[in-house]
Amino acid sequence: MPSLMESESVHAKIAAHSLLKLVSRTAEILNVRAMLVGGAVRDLFLGHDTFDIDILVEYEFAKLALSLQKELSSELVMHPAFGTAVLTIPYVGHIDIATARTETYARAGSLPKVVFSSIQNDLFRRDFSINAMAAPLTGSGEIIDPFDGLRDLSKGILRVLHPRSFQDDPTRIFRLARFASRGLTPENETVALACRDAQNVRLISIERVREELIAILDEKQPSIAISLLASWGIWNEVLADIPLPDGAMLDSASSVASRLALLVSPCGQSAKAILTRLKLSRALKREVLTILS
């Protein structure tokens, strides 16, 4: 693991980031308490550039989103029932804005019921401790780290926040494997929970499985994640019709499409049916079929 940046350096990095600086200034003007949360905080501590901008506010998401839309001349989609908004900035990326909330799940793999809540409770609903930190964009507050995410990040550890985590959202098991492919180590208890709840991945829609698979195939070394999913019993739960690939060949492939082609090529005449089952976009499916032909 690379050495971590100091908290002061993280604040300096935020101040130097043009989009985050704009969000900070706009939130200050509107008197909205805004936090940078999730993977962006993790990446800033690691000294990485962040393009995953996830903003958390308390109850004022629409005011901030509408103001930023004018500032950035961006496309805005709001979901008032969930307290969320997405700003799409041409040639730059997305800014996700969400009201702090808690989530409850009627059953494993179901979509959550949302109740607006505090920032602390919102962080508790996150997947891993390293993604459950918040950096204030307004005021001069310290990094909020109630679950020792910075400690785990310094040790290169992946740890869920509570024993029901993979039951609430089984897609987190895929993310556990994906983050592990970056050199992080899942702690033993977290792995035990993933294996215990492996069967819950059957409850996930195929669209969500597809998105997690594509995210894994977009990593530098997807073979690590796929090997872990197989060892935890996950691969056979949802992708048993796809043989485990040669890891070196998979990692050396140059794109998601070429890696998908490598995965399904041993399936012969079933390959097209598997791609259809995964409900790929037309463009991606066409690209994979072209490689296979």
Structure tokens at 116: 């607006």
- Residue 8's pLDDT band, with cuts at 50, 70 and 90, is low
Q: What is the DSSP string of 60-112?
A: -HHHHHHHHHHHHT-EEEEEGGGTEEEEEETTTEEEEEEE-EEEE-SSTTSPP
Q: Is residue 145 a contact partner of residue 154, using CB atoms and an 8 Å limit? A: no
Residue 60 pLDDT class (50, 70, 90 cuts): confident
* Tokens encoding 227: 């090997």
pLDDT of residue 46: 86
Task: Assess whether pLDDT exceeds 50 at residue 2.
Answer: no
- In whole angstroms, what is the distance from residue 158 CA to residue 65 CA? 32
Q: Give me the pLDDT at residue 18, please.
A: 83
Domains and CATH numbers, the chain: 1-155 (3.30.460.10), 156-293 (1.10.3090.10)
Stretch 46-72: mean pLDDT, rounded?
A: 87
Q: What mean pLDDT is reported for the chain?
A: 90
- CA-to-CA distance for 60 and 65, rounded, in angstroms? 9
Least confident of 10-24, 64-78, 115-129, 138-152: 10-24
Per-residue pLDDT for 38 more than 70? yes
Looking up tokens 């690209």 gives 287
- In the predicted model, what is the mean pLDDT of residues 43-51? 81
In this prediction the pTM is 0.88
Between 249 and 3, the more confident residue is: 249
Sign (positive/negative) of CA torsion 29, 52, 209, 271?
positive
CA distances to 60, 179, 220, 244, 265 from 157, in Å: 34, 10, 19, 26, 35
Q: Is 71 a residue whose pLDDT tops 60?
A: yes
Per-residue confidence band for 111, with pLDDT thresholds at 50, 70 and 90:
low
Predicted pLDDT of residue 186: 97
Residue with tokens 């200034």: 25
pLDDT in tens, 155-193: 999 999 999 999 989 999 999 999 999 999 999 999 999
Q: Does 109 score more than 70 pLDDT?
A: no
Region 146-154: mean pLDDT is: 94
Residue 177 near residue 216, CB atoms below 8 Å: yes
Q: How far apart are CA 245 and CA 201, in angstroms?
A: 21
Q: Is the pLDDT of residue 290 over 80?
A: yes
pLDDT in tens, 81-104: 888 999 998 877 889 999 998 877
